[in-house]
Amino acid sequence: MAAVETAPGAALNGRGVVEAAGALVWRERDGRLELPVVHRPRYKDWSWPKGKVDPGEQLPAAAVREVAEEIDEQVVLGVPLPSLRYTTSDGRTKRVHYWAARCATDDDAAALTVRPQVERAPLEEIDDVVWVSAATAGELLTRRADRAPLETLLTLWERGRLATRAVVVARHGRAQRRSAWKGGEETRPLTAQGRAQAKALVPVLAAFGVGEVVTSPWERCLSTVVPYAERTGLPVRTVDALTEDAFKADPAASARVVEELLSSPRDVVLSTHRPVLRSVMDAVGEGTRRWTIGALPEKDPWLRTGEALIAHVTGSGAAARVVAVERHRGAANGD
């Protein structure tokens, strides 16, 4: 599957495509997989919980919001699943982005605090929600195409790759130019655009349940993740090995930080600099396999300013493996 890369959506994007997002929420009961499907009386159909992306809304944020509205459950996104593209009754093209997702737990409390409150969808939109086995869900779905993401989810479950945690690698937001900043390099701040990028990162991190914040102590990296830390109340752990100077002195040190985070049981974000991303991507790449969904960026600058790469990881310690990777960008991004 090609790399997953998304920008903030709108109900109708610049190419005339109606963007929507949703999730296949899974749980295990007595050794079997169960998922919710929803009934829409207007269309008289059974489908996955999903809905249109609001203008300026991030796709992952839209997915968790729509699921909460339709099944009355807060969820944490996991591995991206195949998206669907089809023509609506009024002749427009619609694209639905799907993720696997699990129901949120007390461990996700910090991430949930930054999500907006949602109201349950009215009965005119969703009049029934049923949790059923995967086999029954496949039979209930009205549109045959909706079975495609289910097939991928079942394959991941059967191979032990469905239960994942997120390791998010973020490049700092747009910073003031080196030539224009008279202070030390470690104090060079974000621009207004960079601050907007940092703000746009908050709903993405919340959608993936990030519960730990790690960053280079330099101002531009710190300021990129502070908005999320402040809103969630999470502490910020600064790591000198993630600075540009430390990377020049010992590139392997930054790789060791990434290896530690890949082995950790927590959903985490790591904020660092463009030069350090070479080592970071190499470390993430060591955890990928031929079956990993998506692909890592292969050349400098690796990520744009304010862009985040989400690595979905299963297993721990030496057994940690990257199941999938995807990238997300805010509205106000530069190169």
**What does the pLDDT read at residue 12?**
56
What digits encode the pLDDT tens for the residues 243-256?
A: 999 999 999 999 99
**What does the pLDDT read at residue 273?**
98
Please report, for the chain, how many H helices and E strands are present, in that order.
Answer: 9, 15
Task: Name the residue type at position 141.
Answer: L
Identify the H or E element spanning 29: strand 27-29
Task: Name the residue type at position 319.
Answer: A
What digits encode the pLDDT tens for the residues 1-25?
A: 334 444 444 455 556 899 999 999 9
What digits encode the pLDDT tens for the residues 128-149?
A: 999 999 999 999 999 999 999 9
pLDDT band at 90 (very low <50, low <70, confident <90, very high): confident
CATH topology of domain 4-158: Nucleoside Triphosphate Pyrophosphohydrolase (3.90.79)
pLDDT band at 332 (very low <50, low <70, confident <90, very high): very low
Give the mean pLDDT of the chain. Answer: 93
Judge: domain 165-328, CATH 3.40.50.1240.
yes
What digits encode the pLDDT tens for the residues 157-184?
A: 999 999 999 999 999 999 999 888 988 8
309: which 2 tokens? Answer: 């790469």
Residue 177 neighbours by CB distance under 10 Å: 9
**What does the pLDDT read at residue 16?**
82
What is the average pLDDT across 322-331?
89
**What does the pLDDT read at residue 335?**
41
What percent of the chain clears pLDDT 70, i.e. is strictly above it? 94
334, pLDDT greater than 70:
no
Q: How many angstroms separate the CA atoms of 219 and 187, rounded? A: 5
Q: Do domains 4-158 and 165-328 have the same CATH topology?
A: no
**What does the pLDDT read at residue 88?**
84
Q: Which of 9-13, 19-23, 188-192, 236-240 has the lowest mean pLDDT?
A: 9-13
What digits encode the pLDDT tens for the residues 35-66?
A: 999 999 999 999 999 999 999 999 999 999 99
CA 291 vs. chain centroid, Å, equals 19
Task: Work out the end-to-end distance of the chain between its first and last CA atoms, rounded to an integer number of angstroms.
Answer: 25
**What does the pLDDT read at residue 317?**
87
Residue 294 neighbours by CB distance under 10 Å: 22
275, pLDDT greater than 80:
yes
* Annotated domain spans of the chain: 4-158, 165-328
